[in-house]
Chains A and B, each alone.
Chain A
Amino acid sequence: MNSVLEIQNLETVLHTELRPVWAVDGLTLQIMKGETFALLGESGCGKSITALSIMRLLPEAGEIVGGSIRLGGEDLLLLPEAAMRNVRGKRIGMIFQEPMLSLNPVMTVAQQIGEVLQRHFDLRGQAAEKRIVQILDQVGIPDAASRMNEYPFQFSGGMKQRIMIAMALAGEPELLIADEPTTALDVTIQAQVLELMRGLQQQGGMAILLITHDLGVASEMAHRVGIMYAGEIVETASREAFFRGPAHPYSRKLLAALPGRDRRKQGHRLDAIRGNVPSLSREFVGCRFADRCDQAWELCHQVAPGWTALTGEQQVRCHLFNQNFGSKIVKPAVSGQAGAPATLDAESWEFESFPSAGTEQSTPDGSLLSVTDLKVYFPIHKGLMRRVAGYVKAVDGISLRIDRGKTLALVGESGCGKTTAGKAMLQLIPPTGGSVRYNGVELVGLERNRLRRLRGEFQLIFQDPYSSLNPRMRIIDIIEEGMNALGVEDDGKEPKEKRVDELLESVGLPAETKWRYPHEFSGGQRQRIAIARALAVNPKLIVCDEPTSALDVSVQAQILNLLRELQRNLGLGYLFITHNISVVEYIADEIAVMYLGRIVERGTVDEVLGSPRHPYTQALLSAVPVIELESKRKVIRLHGDLPSPANPPQGCHFHPRCSHVMPVCRKNYPGASIFSSTHTAHCYLYPQDEEQSDRKTQA
């Protein structure tokens, strides 16, 4: 018996105002020594509550009402609280999602790790210090002996997450619970952290319970996978079996909802799961997924399915696989690609290039928005007189072009200036220099009144649907606001209210929702409202600032489908700001990769993703976790973090982290190297375009 953790029929209830919510309802799982078990599912499925139940750290309203949690044969639920404290941090370590919030900002790193050592091993003074250095070395903190006495704010995000891991490891736990450990991190940092966790597991042989919503991360890390839906596990399988042939309709839908280039090429809509995760406060009769399932029949609505064992370790909770209903079995589509059964209900899409609607005022070159050498500098004030001591060069001379009905993706890590660039293009932040021409009209320096008349032409969709809608306004007021401000539809022919109904219907919401307030909607629905608000003024260009990064995979698919549909019907141009490469692959026509305020590579999707030239693009792409059974790809490890834009490195901004660095890289910023009419990169590895580089060195 070498199972580390055994959970039997765990039931956790959250008591809320109206009725109890059965957040975890009869969960059973087992994790072996040295194994990584990935618990996958959308938000609101009870993944985090499961983790907190194991630690017995539930919020005050939570209560474990049934089942057992055995850690090495000992039932944790029967332990008194005092004994439980010896388990937490010692036998079970935990890593949280937000490294910035999980470390105490007023204690040094050494003090925080020392606390664990003192509590569980009674190590103090010299001995503790030695051990702290050892642990920090283990998680790859350079120069650990001196940095251990620094405060959390002196470390970068990735380093903080390493320190969190170090704290979790300090107790030498048998089980490590990682609750979305990399969700808040950039892909390059995520790759570092995941590799670190893998390495540590191989050394120490501890078990890991990895909680994530990212199928890619699960596919890279896990040995076994459990899919959680509405408080229960609906499928467990080994990693290979799961990604080769997911059985449960929910798992299949989840995989099919992933965007990617293949999806786009096949011309399919993403396979969104209709509806939302059901509220866990209601009584379930029958299968919990039945309402959203395409293959459900009466039995599914009447009888809750039991476990059915498939080949090997794969088990599924679905009537489709029950022997007694053999005729109903739909063979799970087996395909090498990431769960490609797009046949389910995918309607074919014709992506003909849009015959630019509204070409009345077309510019000579046919571009909707062209940006040349855009700069946004934020002054740094210092001293008593608030003298300007320097500039944060958030956007440092970018040039790009968006055509009608096309999508340009702006890709880069957080802090590289993507969002600032997007806002500066819309003149929401005054640019420091450069030019932004919309339909031939120069926007920079345009006076407020004339700019206001143009505002309706370009709109913005934000990342966080929770902060982008005023909580005190009804949906109808929110949508009408832009129409009122810009005098849209003021001709009296069509009442505004009717227009709002149409807009809501066009984004897939019933018209009567307009009387409600934003807090009554889920994240995906809010994002739809935000899109309807932007569409209300008939824009031609929409800047989408990470519109899906706060959403679940299945909801992300809904939103991406909606955006593409709108582009097809209305001929919208999109500037799509994101760090999610698979979304880019699905939605973008062109890509611009940004690093530290500058665009390092530009080209069409196929050019940039197919043959990336800049070392940064290569590293970025290699760091994206992908669902591949035989993972052959080599992650190009980037050293360190993004430098501060207040003090960018001399020469090529990327040289301190680049593996191909040459002496010339340290001196001057490279000019453009042109590979095709659309594909350019700034790197000395390739022959420079003479004229361009001259101009750059002078600047």
Chain B
Amino acid sequence: MSFKPVILWTDALVYVLVAVIVIFAWQVRRHEHLLAPWRRVGHSASGMAALTILMFFIVIGLLDTIHLRPAIENGNGGSEAAYGVEVLSLLDLLATPLRTQVETTYSAPFATHLYARETVELPGGGQVREFPRLKFGGAHLQDPETQLFGDIATRAGTGAGLALLLWFLIATSVTAIVAHCRGERFVSTLSTIWQGITPVPWRAVFVTLALILLLGGAALALCSDYHILGTDKVGQDVFYQSLKSIRTGLLIGTLTTLMMLPFALLLGVAAGYFRGWVDDLIQYLYTTLSSIPGVLLIAATVLMMQVYMETHPELFDTIAARADLRLLFLCVILGVTSWTGLCRLLRGETLKLREMEYIQAAHAFGVSHWRIISRHIIPNVMHIVLITTVMDFSGLVLAEAVLSYVGVGVDPSTISFGTMINAARLEMAREPMVWWALFAAFTFMFALVLSANLFADAVQSAFDPRMKTLSALARTWRRKSIGKSA
């Protein structure tokens, strides 16, 4: 099958981001002193477990980032291949059954019948109002009432069994690699991992991995024949929507922060470091900006952009390109309006840092302002940046939901947690209630944000030398018995 690759704006930025991370990782690997704190991250059990979960989200997000336009069969068989107008991602292609098996309207998770009565013509004439069978969900069952449970259990069991096998393979190969690196025998490494006394908490990673793989395996085995999280109003699979939302969430969380960081970092540090009129100017700027209602500002900008897009349809060759640009602009606008909080924090911290004696020592060496800022101040405020970034991550995902509700969020054709939650607003008011869309959005978002928070926690405590004593205190309770026995 031939296809034409498509690189949307956000895709390009994601590729840049990935490239930066890879270069950074390569740099870190070469320098022992940069590697040391990351090692400490690797030694935190909660951090590594969270990272395992995050990896799944990131993989899904990346799969959803590689866009292409598949070739369509053109009847005349000409030399020039024609490509469909629909831009698909790798994830879409992998999840083709999920994407294409569309019911007519709501159906509950694992249901075989629709959630709403419909008037059905009987073969012998006459009409009856009933819950019709779904076109795809459980369509292979003869007698859903009796077979449903058994079928689900068998499929889930098979999927989980395969997943377990995969897990076993991964665990064995990781253990073998670890054993090889440490120059130990496989069995002894296995037993140290089992006892949880390896420096890198492999046991926690394996347990998390097992949980994810079991859930994922079962879901994979089931999702082609059932709507495991139900369907929405137009009959689209909610599980598919949730998977698609991951990319939007990750993008809003990361790209917005990228847009915001230069403003917050430069202005905040400059205000605190130079003081005087620079400080006054920047303070007035962010005080003014933060006193304008954010939603108003965003709405105005988004509407302006929307008008521009509508008057220039020739700029976009596909709907996806349009939706994508709108998403990017939303990130930019959110970034431009949300730097004030971090800026204020950084200004305060810099005011404190500039009086530190090592900064004065640098002044005494005649070190230039720029070098003092980049070598002394910025590394010492990075923990604040990191914490704020991760805390903002969840806030931004929610902000997107709020904006979608007002109608100035992502493009209606973009699937996001925001649009899902927004739709759920009406569904919750419906009787009988449709709960699964909200439930799915909530679960996915919760897992994403929680694991990001846990990972950031681990990073923070590893990078901040002052945090060490605190963690030492926290562990004392576990060690109490040692003192008594000694």
Chain A residue, CB-CB nearest to B382: A472
**Chain A contacts to B: CB under 8 angstroms:** 13, 15-17, 19-20, 60-61, 63, 65, 423, 426, 428, 451-453, 455-456, 458-460, 462-464, 467-474, 477-478, 481-482, 485-486, 515, 517, 519, 530, 533-534, 537
Give Cα distance in the complex from A633 to B361, angstroms.
41
CA distance A482 to B366 in the complex (A): 8
Interface set, chain B 459-482, CB cutoff 8 A to A: 465-466, 468, 471-473, 475-476, 479-480, 482
By a CB distance below 8 angstroms, the chain A residues around B135 are none
Q: Does B371 contact A (CB under 8 A)?
A: yes
Residue of A nearest to B369 (CB): A448
Output the nearest chain B residue to A466 by Cβ-Cβ distance: B357
Q: List 28 A-B contacts (CB under 8 A).
A: A13-B483, A15-B483, A16-B472, A60-B473, A61-B472, A61-B473, A63-B480, A63-B483, A423-B360, A428-B360, A451-B366, A458-B364, A459-B364, A462-B360, A464-B357, A467-B357, A468-B358, A469-B358, A471-B380, A472-B379, A473-B379, A477-B375, A478-B358, A481-B365, A485-B367, A485-B368, A485-B371, A530-B361
* CB pair A515 B365 closer than 8 Å: no
Q: Are B476 and A61 in contact, CB atoms less than 8 angstroms apart? A: yes
Pick the residue among B361, B471, B484 that contacts A460 (CB under 8 A): B361
**A539 nearest in chain B by CB position:** B364
Once the chains bind, are B365 and A471 in contact (CB under 8 Å)? no
Q: A63: which B residues are within 8 A, CB to CB? A: 480, 483
Inter-subunit contact A467/B358 (CB<8 Å): yes
Scan B374-389; emit 1 where CB is below 8 A from any A CB, else 0. 0110011000000000
Chain A residues with Cβ below 8 Å from B361 are 460, 462, 468, 530, 533-534
**Residue of A63, A464, A481, A533 ringed by the most chain B CB atoms within 10 A:** A481
Q: Are A482 and B483 in contact (CB under 8 A)?
A: no
Chain B residues lying within 8 Å of A16, measured Cβ to Cβ, are 472, 476
Any chain A CB within 8 A of the CB of B81? Answer: no
The 4 closest A-B pairs by CB, nearest first: A452-B366, A455-B366, A482-B365, A468-B357
Q: Which residue of A lies closest to B367 (CB)?
A: A485
Least distance between A13 CB and chain B CB atoms (Å): 4
Interchain CB contact (< 8 A) of A428 among B363, B367, B375: B363
A-B contacts counted at CB < 8 A amount to 101
CB pair A17–B360 under 8 Å, yes or no, is: no
Give B346-364 as 1s and 0s: 1 = Cβ < 8 Å from A's Cβ atoms: 0000000000111011111
A472 and B472 within 8 A (CB): no
Cβ-defined contact, B376 with A460, below 8 A: no
B426 interface contact, C-beta 8 A: no
Residue of A nearest to B371 (CB): A485
B486 within 8 A of A: yes
Q: What's the Cα separation between A453 and B366 when bound, in Å?
A: 8
Is B33 located at the chain interface by the 8 A CB criterion? yes
The residues of A that contact B379 with a CB separation of less than 8 Å are 470, 472-473
How far, in Å, is B485 (CB) from chain A's closest CB?
Answer: 10
A410 to B11 alpha-carbon distance, docked (Å) = 64
Tell me the bound Cα distance from A456 to B361 in angstroms: 11
A182 and B86 CA atoms in complex are apart in Å by: 79
* B465 contacts across to A, CB distance below 8 A: 471-472, 517, 519
B483 and A537 contacting across the interface, CB-CB below 8 Å: no
Are the CB atoms of B375 and A473 closer together than 8 Å? yes
Q: Is the CB of A470 within 8 A of B380?
A: yes
Check A17–B472 contact: CB distance below 8 A. Answer: yes
Whether B32 sits at the interface, judged by CB under 8 Å, is yes
What is the CB-to-nearest-CB distance from A274 to chain B, in angstroms, rounded to a whole number? 27
Residues A485 and B484 in contact, CB atoms below 8 Å apart:
no
The contact of B483 among A20, A428, A534, by CB within 8 Å, is A20
Chain A positions within 8 Å of B376 at CB level? 470, 473
Interface pair B364/A472, CB less than 8 Å apart: no
If A426-B364, A471-B380 are given as contacts, then 16 extra A-B residue pairs at C-beta distance below 8 Å, sorted by A number, are A16-B476, A17-B471, A17-B479, A20-B479, A20-B483, A61-B472, A63-B480, A428-B363, A453-B366, A460-B361, A462-B361, A482-B367, A485-B366, A485-B371, A519-B465, A530-B361
Given the interface pairs A61-B476, A468-B358, the reply to whether A455 lies near B364 with Cβ below 8 Å is yes
Q: Complex: how many Å from CA A463 to CA B366?
A: 20
Task: Report the Cα distance A471→B357, complex, angstroms.
Answer: 12
A60 touching B365, Cβ below 8 Å: no
**A17, A61, A472 interface centre (most CB from chain B within 10 Å):** A472
Q: Which residue of B lies closest to A455 (CB)?
A: B366
* Assembly CA distance A452 to B471 (angstroms): 43
Complex contacts, B471 vs chain A, CB 8 Å: 17
Quick one: closest A residue to B478, CB to CB? A15
Name the one of A15, A453, A481 contacting B375, with C-beta atoms under 8 angstroms.
A481
Q: Is the CB of A515 within 8 A of B367?
A: no
A455 pairs with B365, CB closer than 8 A:
yes
Contact partners of A468 in chain B: CB under 8 A: 356-358, 361
Contact pick for B360, options A60, A460, A533, CB 8 Å: A460
| Residues of chain B contacted by A470 (CB below 8 angstroms) | 358, 375-376, 379-380
Residue of A nearest to B31 (CB): A474
With a CB–CB cut-off of 8 A, which chain A residues contact B357?
Answer: 462-464, 467-468
| Bound complex: CA A278 to CA B420 (Å) | 62
